[in-house]
Amino acid sequence: MSQEFETSLGEHELADLAVGCTVLAGGGGGDPRVGLMMAINAVQHHGPVSVIQLDDVADSDTVFAAGMVGAPTVMMEKIANGGEGRVIQDTLQARLGTRISAMMPMEMGGINGVLPVAWAVNAGLPLVDGDLMGRAFPELQMCTPHLHDIPSRPSVLVDERSQAITFDTAGNVWLERLMRNTVSVLGGCASAGLYPMSGAVARGPVIRGTVSTAVRIGRAIRTAGASPFEALDSEAEVYPLITGKVIDVERHTAGGFVRGSAVIEGTETDSGRLVRVEFQNENLVALEDGEPIATVPDIITLLDRHTAHGIVTEHIRYGQRVVLSVFRGPTQWRSEAGLRVVGPRAFGYDVEFKPVEERHAPTH
């Protein structure tokens, strides 16, 4: 696997990023399409976005993370206006009395891996090559600063009417509760600025290089011609669980989340097998014969059998041909403290987390 990092993202890189984000999202984060269109529009007007490494951020500089919060089904329709990043930046700067020097995606998945590029470009800020989840997750305390006891304070919520709500809460779980509810009142989704941190404070939690990783994975898949899965294998450690057809999907949008399940019937060498995936925006567990065969925080994604693009949970449909694939979850989340926040028990599943590499073999 190549080690190089992106230094700027133009239209081609953004298309790669979007595909990579569907793979890494674990089914969540929303369809990147609207975010990609906005990001392409922004770089067409203002030129490519500059990408910097976290180590390029000075100790005393301030950075923040951003993303849309709400139901992915709504994000596809109630579209951001592109200026929210700037409103967030101005609000944070006024509150903190410091200058914001860069921003990063809150999560590396779905629309939220791509849309922050539009915000960064429109605000004139560089994008930090990293994020706070290393994948996508449904709730706001499921960010690495929370593991380091760093509060998201203040947090800012902005909608497409440029209304702004600033939160100073007693911890990140209160923030999730309050912001989630406010998002409902605003119509189901809104744009959030979270976890403003100095460069010094950011060094611990930020998961580095994830923008570049997503671009690299997306580029491999997009340029692979007839063998996208081979290309994916060359860029990532993939654990395929089952190749099959979606024969059932149940999904409902409530309280800001898309919840439900899908059943995959095995085909080819997996004939006779049935695997069920349960999700809350993101895929949480994969079950076979009633037993978990993969869980969060490992990244569980339905990949399209032909293109190897990831399928977001709101797009799962009867008849889709998929390869249910797992990637190792980010290291910070696999710790004991991390599992308390994003392990299966944190989502209500009474099962122990077992790393995917202890259950299955990778493709290579």
The position carrying tokens 């993202």 is 9
Residue 206 region by backbone torsions, left for phi larger than 0, else alpha for psi between -120 and 50, else beta: beta
Q: Is 71 in the site for a copy of itself (CB under 8 A)?
A: no
d(CA 288, CA 130): 34
Q: Is 98 in the site for a copy of itself (CB under 8 A)?
A: no
- CB 167, min distance to a copy of itself, A: 5
d(CA 45, CA 9): 13
For a copy of itself, which residue of 37, 164, 224, 263 counts as binding (CB under 8 A)?
164
Give the contacts of 292 (CB within 8 A, at least 6 positions apart): 285, 286, 344, 349, 351, 354
For a copy of itself, which residue of 2, 44, 98, 163 counts as binding (CB under 8 A)?
163
Q: Is 255 in the site for a copy of itself (CB under 8 A)?
A: no
For a copy of itself, which residue of 86, 95, 203, 334 counts as binding (CB under 8 A)?
95
Largest CA distance in the chain: 62
> Toward a copy of itself, which CB reaches closer, 95 or 148?
95
d(CA 160, CA 261): 31
Would you give the binding string for a copy of itself spanning residues 185-224, x where CB under 8 A is met? Answer: xx--------------------------------------
Q: Is 184 in the site for a copy of itself (CB under 8 A)?
A: yes
The position carrying tokens 């308390």 is 340
Scanning 61-69, 182-190, 274-282, 291-299 for contacts with a copy of itself by CB under 8 A, the matching segment is 182-190
Scanning 12-20, 173-181, 221-229, 330-338 for contacts with a copy of itself by CB under 8 A, the matching segment is 173-181
Scanning 47-55, 110-118, 159-167, 291-299 for contacts with a copy of itself by CB under 8 A, the matching segment is 159-167
> Checking DSSP bridges between strand 239-254 and strand 257-266, what pairing results, if any?
antiparallel
CB 345 within 8 A of CB 335: no
Q: Which residues bind a copy of itself (CB under 8 A)?
A: 94-95, 161-170, 174, 177-178, 181-182, 184-186
